[in-house]
Amino acid sequence: MPTRSDLPAPYRVGEWLPSDQEFLAAWLDGLIAEVEALGEVQLLPVVEEFQRAVEEDAELYMLFSAMLVQVPFRKTPTGDPQVRTLDLMFRLFNHIMTRAPEYNDTGLVGFPINAILDWAMGTHAGYAAFLNEKGNAHFKTLLDFWGTFLKSTDSAAVLVDSPKGWLNAGALKKLNLTDFVCDPTAPHYGFTSWDDFFTRQFRQGVRPVAAPDDPQVIVNACESAPYRLSTKVDRQAEFWLKGQPYSLRHMLANDPLTDTFVGGTVYQAFLSALSYHRWHSPVDGVIVSTSVQPGTYYSETPAEGYDPSGPNESQGYISEVATRATIFIEADNPAIGLMCVMPIGMAEVSTCEVTVYEGQQVKKGDQLGMFHFGGSTHCLFFRPGVNLQFDFHGQKPGLNSNNIPINSRIATVVS
């Protein structure tokens, strides 16, 4: 019987974008046609400000212009670039800012901006552009604006029973909303906005906490698929190179607690488009500190070669540079001691909302925070000397792994 890795994948990692480049190209062609049919329109202030900043800043203008013309046209499905000018790029951004991602049973485009920038992300100019601090500041402002729309009642319009609605029969079969807090008799199942739907919560008892009274058992912090397990992690490494080694001082943004984890263990896993997007505590303990580190949104490492897969194949790399939160927990079990949960945004809104505070006592399975619309991955950090036996539920970490339920056993402390 063929394994999942032997079969053609209809989606890229996490199911945020279809793997069929021709489908994605057709989707973008349709979006471009919509924008061009509108003719000249007044840009939203947040988009107009971003465009003006790029055009007036010599460095930004050079990088953003060059990334659109450096696309290797011979490799695109149509043989030519789809987004050719800065003007078109910003008009496409503008068009997206007042709409929520639509459901598609055969080719979900959950990352519209990622799709627009798809090929440009892999260029040399794109690599520099998406690391640029000024550019990322404008992306944050743009995406925060979009996030505000996605929390408005207007964004709930896409939560309808239609071919592109998230509550049609095909979508409901995949989402299994009976597991979540909702009201099937209410409009939009009771969800008041796209964001309300995206951050939906499991019903009590749907994801029971594994071994709640056994302090040796560590549970899964996110509904996620195992990506990588690394031991004896270095304080500093050249994380942008092939293999994307972890670099603790950069991952933890030079936090004073960084040295606690040098030589220790890092476990990373990724969430999918249809997953539960809240984070839970993997241990019983006390919150030592929390922070949110601003970072990149569309940067990917060139070490993976020219691949328009967005940040999916750069998950190790983006743990050092992307927008991310850190939640340090002093576990009640001294054999674990200080550990850290680090949720990482991947593209689009990438908002990391921490909902716990310093000094708060948490139990395994208690909520720590959530992602607000954005692809996502996360890391767990453990000190050297913490001997762990991981349970990947019969699979090997990698890009073809499947979700392990949140709150289920992910590791056990052993002597």
pLDDT in tens, 139-150: 999 999 999 999
Assign 77 a pLDDT band (cuts: 50, 70, 90): low
- Mean pLDDT rounded to a whole number for the chain: 87
Q: What is the percentage of the chain residues whose pLDDT exceeds 70?
A: 87
Q: What is the number of structural domains in the chain? A: 2
As given in the structure block, the two tokens for residue 234 are 């270095």
DSSP secondary structure letters along 111-123: -HHHHHTTTGGGS
For range 167-191, the mean pLDDT:
92
> Are 239 and 125 within one domain?
no
Does a structural domain hold residue 205? no
Q: Which helix or strand (DSSP H or E) is residue 413 part of?
A: strand 409-413
Does a structural domain hold residue 194? no
- β partners of residue 339: 329, 382
Does a structural domain hold residue 185? no
Q: What is the percentage of the chain residues whose pLDDT exceeds 90?
A: 62
> Are 251 and 133 within one domain?
no
> Are 239 and 371 within one domain?
yes
Assign 69 a pLDDT band (cuts: 50, 70, 90): confident
Does a structural domain hold residue 101? yes
> Are 222 and 369 within one domain?
yes
- If we measure between CA atoms, which residue out of 316, 137, 310 comes closest to residue 239? 316
Whether 389 shows a pLDDT value over 60: the answer reads yes
> Are 136 and 260 within one domain?
no
Helix axes 21-38, 86-96, angle to 10 degrees: 90
- What's the whole-model pTM score? 0.90
Whether 374 shows a pLDDT value over 80: the answer reads no
Helix axes 45-56, 133-150, angle to 10 degrees: 170
Q: What CATH code is carried by the domain that includes residue 365?
A: 2.70.70
More confident residue, 238 or 356: 356
Give residue 301's identity as a one-letter amino acid code: T
> Are 389 and 257 within one domain?
yes
Which residues are within 8 A (CB) of 266 and not within 5 positions of it... i.e. 6 or more apart? 228, 229, 230, 233, 246, 251, 379, 380, 381, 382
pLDDT confidence of residue 5: 35
DSSP secondary structure letters along 352-369: EEE---TT-EE-TT-EEE
Cα dihedral 110, 380, 220, 180 sign? negative
Q: Torsion angle, CA of 249/283/368/355, rounded to 10 degrees?
A: -90
Residue 58 burial (CB count, 10 A): 8
Question: CA-CA distance, 344 to 378, in Å (whole number)?
Answer: 5
> Are 114 and 257 within one domain?
no
Choose one of 154, 173, 191: the last residue of a domain: 154
Whether 3 shows a pLDDT value over 60: the answer reads no
Choose one of 128, 154, 180: the last residue of a domain: 154
pLDDT in tens, 81-131: 678 899 999 999 999 999 998 887 765 566 788 888 877 888 889 989 999
Does a structural domain hold residue 174? no
Give residue 14's identity as a one-letter amino acid code: G
Does a structural domain hold residue 340? yes
> Are 145 and 70 within one domain?
yes
Residue 72 DSSP class = -
pLDDT in tens, 9-28: 444 444 545 455 677 777 88
Domain span at 297 = 217-413
Question: CA-CA distance, 342 to 354, in Å (whole number)?
Answer: 11
Question: CA-CA distance, 263 to 342, in Å (whole number)?
Answer: 18
pLDDT confidence of residue 25: 76
Cα 245 vs. chain centroid, distance in angstroms? 19
> Are 125 and 254 within one domain?
no
Whether 306 shows a pLDDT value over 80: the answer reads no
Question: CA-CA distance, 314 to 244, in Å (whole number)?
Answer: 8
pLDDT confidence of residue 266: 96
> Are 250 and 389 within one domain?
yes
pLDDT confidence of residue 412: 98
The runs of H, that is alpha helices, within 130-255 are: 133-150, 169-175, 194-198, 248-251
Q: Which of 74-78, 145-149, 299-303 has the highest mean pLDDT?
A: 145-149
Helix axes 133-150, 58-69, angle to 10 degrees: 70
> Are 239 and 366 within one domain?
yes
Choose one of 111, 128, 154: the last residue of a domain: 154
- If we measure between CA atoms, which residue out of 384, 319, 329, 382 comes closest to residue 352? 319
For range 56-74, the mean pLDDT:
87
pLDDT confidence of residue 373: 82
Does a structural domain hold residue 368? yes
> Are 135 and 251 within one domain?
no
For range 373-382, the mean pLDDT:
88
For range 341-368, the mean pLDDT:
93
More confident residue, 310 or 201: 201
Question: CA-CA distance, 36 to 132, in Å (whole number)?
Answer: 29
For range 325-332, the mean pLDDT:
98
pLDDT confidence of residue 349: 65
Does a structural domain hold residue 30? yes
Question: CA-CA distance, 377 to 365, in Å (whole number)?
Answer: 18
pLDDT confidence of residue 361: 98
First to last CA, the chain: 38
Question: CA-CA distance, 319 to 276, in Å (whole number)?
Answer: 20
- If we measure between CA atoms, which residue out of 336, 329, 331, 340 comes closest to residue 293? 340
Assign 302 a pLDDT band (cuts: 50, 70, 90): confident
Whether 267 shows a pLDDT value over 50: the answer reads yes
